[in-house]
């Protein structure tokens, strides 16, 4: 009866060992599946690491592009400031030239007034010359009568003639000065037209530069948005990789517990 009892116990132990062996086989199969899943996850992780490296390289390239665009933007801003300074300098020169033209116009008007006054003086002198010529004829008729009167009249005529010649020379100088002022006025008008054309050209150039600057700013904003999207995607990938690492740690701890249990079963 003891041997039969021991046989029954041995049969029970063998049945239990078979059950445990089956459980171990199931656990080994599950472990193999987990190993395959882990290998798959490892391959995915390597793929994600390569993709992350590519994304980092692309991000570095985009950062380099952004840096170059920023430098170009600074360069364009400096050129814009230079153009603005040139435009302000041109406006200042234009105001100065306008003031010069105004002053020259006023000076020309003054010279014209002076010329008219000199012309009136010449007419008066011509009238006086006619009168003096008539007076001279009268004096010539009276020459035989009074030599002293003739001498005084001759001196008076000589003095008046010298005055008339001085006035004629002053009139010629005034005409010469008027001619030079007219030439200077024409030169100033031509220079004013050139400066006006140059100012309009600078305004057009400044508008084009502003349009180009706005376009580059829009492109920089688009690149910044794309960079933010790439960074968000990279953060999601890193978070997913961390989760997979945690699952792998859990699987490893489970495998360790299974190995411990298997070792204890083998000892039994």
60-77 pLDDT, tens digit each: 998 898 898 889 888 888
CB 99 within 8 A of CB 151: no
Which pLDDT score is estimated for 151? 75
Among 76, 80, 72, 73, residue whose Cα is nearest residue 202: 80
Give the pLDDT score at 150.
65
The 10 Å CB-count burial string (b at 16+, else e) for 9-32 is eeeeeeeeeeebeeebeebeeebe
CA–chain centroid gap for 52, Å, is 36
Q: What is the DSSP string of 231-266?
A: HHHHHHHHHHHHHHHHHHHHHHHHHHHHHHHHHHHH
What mean pLDDT is predicted for residues 153-168? 77
pLDDT above 80: residue 55: yes
Q: Would you say residue 149 has pLDDT above 70?
A: no
pLDDT tens digit sequence for 23-52 = 889 999 998 899 999 999 999 999 999 998
Q: What mean pLDDT do residues 235-250 have? A: 79
pLDDT digits (tens, 9 = 90+) for 166-195: 888 888 888 888 888 888 888 888 888 888
pLDDT at 146 over 70: no
Separation of alpha carbons 126 and 162, rounded Å: 14
- Between residues 32 and 1, which one has the greater pLDDT? 32
Average confidence (pLDDT) over 201-225: 82
């Amino acid at each position: 009866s003891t041997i039969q009892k021991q046989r029954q116990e041995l049969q029970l132990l063998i049945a239990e060992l078979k059950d445990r062996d089956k459980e171990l086989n199931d656990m080994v199969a599950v472990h193999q599946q987990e190993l395959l899943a882990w290998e798959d996850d490892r391959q995915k992780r390597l793929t994600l690491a390569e993709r992350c490296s590519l994304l980092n390289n692309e991000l570095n390239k985009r950062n380099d592009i952004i840096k170059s665009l920023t430098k170009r933007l600074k360069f364009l801003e400096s050129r814009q400031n230079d153009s603005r300074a040139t435009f302000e300098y041109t406006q200042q020169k234009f105001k100065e030239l306008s003031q010069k033209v105004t002053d020259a116009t006023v000076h020309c008007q003054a010279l014209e007034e002076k010329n008219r006054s000199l012309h009136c003086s010449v007419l008066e002198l011509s009238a006086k010359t006619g009168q003096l010529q008539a007076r001279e004829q009268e004096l010539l008729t009276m020459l035989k009568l009074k030599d002293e009167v003739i001498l005084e009249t001759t001196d008076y005529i000589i003095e008046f003639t010298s005055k008339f010649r001085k006035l004629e020379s002053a009139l010629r100088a005034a005409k010469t000065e008027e001619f030079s002022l007219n030439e200077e006025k024409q030169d100033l008008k031509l220079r004013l037209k050139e400066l006006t054309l140059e100012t309009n050209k600078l305004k057009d150039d400044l508008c084009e530069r502003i349009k180009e600057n706005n376009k580059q700013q829009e492109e920089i904003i688009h690149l910044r948005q794309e960079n933010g999207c790439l960074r968000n995607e990279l953060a999601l990938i890193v978070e997913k990789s961390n989760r997979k690492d945690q699952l792998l740690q859990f699987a490893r701890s489970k495998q360790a517990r299974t190995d411990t249990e298997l070792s204890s079963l083998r000892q039994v």
